[in-house]
């Protein structure tokens, strides 16, 4: 038997979506490289062939991490409602994979000592299944401590608030956090009659059934909010800050990205990186406003452009379109921005870009993975939230941490040319941008320290892994 097959085993079940899968892959690497565990990683059924983001993150995994995809679902058996939301698709995928997961756990426990089952925010229905096999279940919370506090309070809010949260006159004062208005609550909570809200409420009510909760944040980033869990909350599992866990590389792909060569030719800190993550899309109208706003700003920019889509999460499950014609952009646009703007269709090696010396700012959808990457590499942010909990993240960045400027949309939800021009100039060369830059540089050093050999994340995980080792 190979040595890694004798190691105590952790089994991990991420949800659909790169934003869930990548941090759990990186967490797996951390467990095997520092704590001598083996990991069985079971990826959710895919709606399409695995894309570049999937494949790059799975390249060159250590021998002690095995991975496989769960069997595909039969669409005729899942009974998904029409016009289903992201959260309903993700949650139903877990539910309809339970029989496959039960079979997987049955086989694993016959041949290995499984010390923990870890799933993320949509996988709380796996907790009961883990207990059936006497495996302690853990939640990996893929966002921040502020959002975790919101999840803790949501079942209580549901009982005491009668109106829609967006109609609440006063902000919610979560302990240890900046106040947040209902309009900035997670997208799934904006319509309490919608299935997405019922799913959110279902999972947040079940988080208390976990053995422990890992949160991808670090003490010096959200110290006040973490103290609330440590000192004031006794009816939930222990919360373990184990971040910032970010993508450690871009697989073994040796593809020579032209955009990186272009960045090499730009002055230090001069380029604005514009990307809305793996799932974000803009409408045609908004795409045009952004294009013209970037052009009028006079700043250099690297823009990851996707085909316009009326859904802000239109590319979450979609295939990437690598068409470089950009025919939906204004006539003559490519010629006018030549040399100052660089457009890339659909996908770029984000880690390599954010760590590049020429990058001076980041227009981000405020997905938590992207935020952590920006913090680690000390890049100030223009917060442009689209869906999920991204508006709440934007509040944390702008009002709490003060490392971001936040765009303001008009009454129709469109960020107009003049606003884009103003905020881009301000971030790259203005006073507010300089303040955000200085603050995020400090957080960058603290983030790197947290993930070091003697950092807080290592110390925290040591506590948990000692518990797992003692159970063998």
Using DSSP's 3-state secondary structure scheme, residue 325 falls into: coil
Give 342's DSSP letter.
E
Residue 85 is encoded by which pair of tokens?
A: 């939301």
Catalytic residue among 120, 184, 307, 456: 120
**Backbone phi and psi for residue 213, each to the nearest 5 degrees, phi listed first:** -125, 120
Distance separating alpha carbons of residues 68 and 80, to the nearest angstrom? 25
Phi, psi of 413 (to 5 degrees): 85, 10
- Rounded to whole angstroms, what are the CA distances from 437 to 367, 400, 403? 19, 15, 7
Confirm whether 20 is a catalytic residue.
yes
Q: Are 250 and 349 in contact (CB under 8 A)?
A: yes
Rounded to 10 degrees, the C-alpha dihedral 358/364/366/370 comes to -40
- Measured CA to CA, the distance from residue 150 to residue 148 in angstroms comes to 5
What is the C-alpha to C-alpha distance for residues 368 and 391, in angstroms, rounded to an integer?
A: 11
**Inter-CA distances, 352 with 6, 249, 250, 300, Å:** 36, 8, 8, 18
Nearest to 153 by CA among 189, 194, 191: 189
Q: Let me know: does 58 contact 248? Beta carbons within 8 Å.
A: no
Collapsing DSSP states into helix, strand and coil, what is residue 72? coil
Task: Give the sign of the dihedral formed by CA 116, CA 388, CA 318, CA 57.
Answer: negative
Residue with tokens 């980041």: 362
DSSP symbol at 401:
I
Q: How far is CA 145 from CA 31, 50, 149, 177, 185, in A?
A: 22, 30, 6, 9, 14
Q: Which residues of 130-144 are buried (b: 16+ CB within 10 A; e: fewer)?
A: beeeebbbbbbbbbb
Q: Is the Cβ–Cβ distance between 352 and 262 less than 8 Å?
A: no
- Residues recognised as catalytic: 20, 120
């Amino acid at each position: 038997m190979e040595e890694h097959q004798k190691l105590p085993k952790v089994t991990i079940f991420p949800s659909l979506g790169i934003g869930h899968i990548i941090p759990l892959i990186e967490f797996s690497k951390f467990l095997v490289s520092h704590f001598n565990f083996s990991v069985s990683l079971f990826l959710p059924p895919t709606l399409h062939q695995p894309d570049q983001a999937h494949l790059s993150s799975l390249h060159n995994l250590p021998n002690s991490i095995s991975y496989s995809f769960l069997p595909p679902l039969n669409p005729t058996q899942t009974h998904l409602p029409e016009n289903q939301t992201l959260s309903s698709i993700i949650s139903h995928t877990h539910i309809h994979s339970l029989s496959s997961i039960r079979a997987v756990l049955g086989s694993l426990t016959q041949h290995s000592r499984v010390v923990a089952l870890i799933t993320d925010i949509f996988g709380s229905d796996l907790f009961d299944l883990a207990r059936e096999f006497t495996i302690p279940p853990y939640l990996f919370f893929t966002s921040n401590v502020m959002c975790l506090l919101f999840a803790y309070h949501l079942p209580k809010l549901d009982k005491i608030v009668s109106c829609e949260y967006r109609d609440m006159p006063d902000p919610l004062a979560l302990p240890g956090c900046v106040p947040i208005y209902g309009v900035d609550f997670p997208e799934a909570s904006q319509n309490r009659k919608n299935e997405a809200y019922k799913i959110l409420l279902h999972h947040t009510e079940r988080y208390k059934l976990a053995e422990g909760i890992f949160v991808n944040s670090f003490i010096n980033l959200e110290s006040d909010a973490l103290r609330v869990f440590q000192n004031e909350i006794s009816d939930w599992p222990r919360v373990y800050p184990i971040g910032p866990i970010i993508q450690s590389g871009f697989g073994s792909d040796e593809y020579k990205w032209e955009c990186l060569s272009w960045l090499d030719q730009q002055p230090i800190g001069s380029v604005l990186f514009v990307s809305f993550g793996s799932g974000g899309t803009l409408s045609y109208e908004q795409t045009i406003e952004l294009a013209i706003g970037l052009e009028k700003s006079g700043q250099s920019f690297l823009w990851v452009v996707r085909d316009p889509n009326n859904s802000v999460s239109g590319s979450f499950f979609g295939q990437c379109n690598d068409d470089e014609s950009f025919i939906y952009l204004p006539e003559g646009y490519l010629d006018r921005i030549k040399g100052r703007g660089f457009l890339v269709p659909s996908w770029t090696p984000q880690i390599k870009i954010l760590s590049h010396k020429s990058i001076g700012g980041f227009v981000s959808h405020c997905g938590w993975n992207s935020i952590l990457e920006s913090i680690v590499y000390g890049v100030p942010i223009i917060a442009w939230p689209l869906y999920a909990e991204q508006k709440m993240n934007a509040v944390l960045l702008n009002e709490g941490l003060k490392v971001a400027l936040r765009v303001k949309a008009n009454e129709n939800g469109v960020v107009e040319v003049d606003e884009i021009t103003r905020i881009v100039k301000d971030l790259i060369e203005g006073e507010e941008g300089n303040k955000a830059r200085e603050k995020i540089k400090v957080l960058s050093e603290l983030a790197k320290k947290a993930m070091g050999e003697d950092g807080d994340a290592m110390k925290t995980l040591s506590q948990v892994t000692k518990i797992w080792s003692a159970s063998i």
